[in-house]
Amino acid sequence: MKLKVLVVAGDGIGPEVTAEASRILRSVAELGGYEFEFREALIGGAAIKAQGTPLPQATLDGALESDAVLLGAVGGNEFNSLPPDKRPEAGLLQIRQALGGFANLRPAFAHPALAANSPLKPEVIDGADILFVRELLGGLYFGEPRQWDREAGSAWNTMRYTRDEVIRVARVAFELAQKRRKKLTSVDKANVLEVSQLWRATVTEVAKDYPDVTLDHQYVDAMSMHLMNTPRSYDVVLTENLFGDILSDESAVITGSLGMLPSATIGGQVNLYEPVHGSAPDIAGKGLANPLGAILTAAMLLRHSGNLEQDAAAIETAVRKVLEQGYRTADLARSEKDKKMVLSTQEMGKQVHETLNEIIDRRQAMHAV
């Protein structure tokens, strides 16, 4: 098994959490006898400082030559005065577009060990396991024309989708639903937006090819309420770019921290993997960042780019066991008991690493019997 991974740590806490995710991947490679090649490149604010652009050509070339890209985070307040197309976030949008990944997978799940961290009642979130499939290359974020006319005091963006764009992301969602609980919820605003009417009609058409998957539709405003009231009712949630961005972030309350959530962008030439959290510049370099979202992102990398399901599941099990043992990073420590078990970024990474090694060693021993 060979896998070429480009690591673009980015800004803020990105380098810290990405280092722990990379360490986990290296351990999997060593224990499994795989050949993983890691290279590093700049993106975002780090690239602006070094080369004057948020996405250097060398980074883009390296990404396109890789099997997967592992990204930390981009952004920082010091860059807010730059024009939008020169800010760190522009580099992220550019690499997403260049790699061609159109389906962003964002899991949201309830860890029993973190039930007290959620503002929702334990009986509401218990067993919740949602996979958001967010269309990533269309809608308001990429639609043209777009402009801020400062002299006129007006601005506009364009929400645009084609039927083919909806079909391709819908097929990804239906295929993932077939591997899970065979239920798909499509989210739109078809009572107001023509774009959503196209979306709903197209998803309904695609559903005919997946008779084993139950499809239902929800308006985005209603869905934002249902996620908080009945999250266990949902399996795979399919939606367009803007709605998916908002709903998947909202779902972090189910888990108890945005720092726990991974994501994968698939469907293009090269898959891109990044934790959902931002760069958090206020805690960068202090060892306070939660690396578990990045580590779980590494698991998604193994699953979707390496086809290494057992190893991906082993990482997820290691994270669960560490949390069950009471270990926490600062963002997860809500009670006095939790605060006695707080680990730094590196200490949490080490704890997961040791637990993962035990799981893989045990698995290999069983196979050898």
Catalytic residue from among 245, 311, 331, 338: 245
Q: Is 249 a catalytic residue?
A: yes
Catalytic residue from among 61, 209, 216, 221: 221
Q: Is 189 a catalytic residue?
A: yes
Catalytic residue from among 11, 188, 189, 273: 189
The residue type found at 70 is L
With the CA atoms of 218, 223, 229 and 232 taken in that order, what torsion angle do they form, in degrees rounded to the nearest 10?
A: 60
The residue type found at 19 is A
Tokens found for residue 358:
């035990």
Cα(338)–Cα(324) distance, integer angstroms: 11
Catalytic residue from among 67, 249, 321, 350: 249
Cα(227)–Cα(124) distance, integer angstroms: 10
Cα(131)–Cα(105) distance, integer angstroms: 7
Place of tokens 């159109």: 102
Q: Is 245 a catalytic residue?
A: yes
Given CA atoms 128, 134, 139, 141 in this order, what sign does their dihedral have? positive
Hey, what long-range contacts does 195-201 have (CB within 8 A, 24 or more apart)?
195/139, 195/159, 195/160, 195/161, 195/240, 196/240, 198/161, 198/163, 198/166, 199/161, 199/166, 199/240
Helix (H) or strand (E) holding 238: strand 236-239
Residues catalogued as catalytic: 141, 189, 221, 245, 249
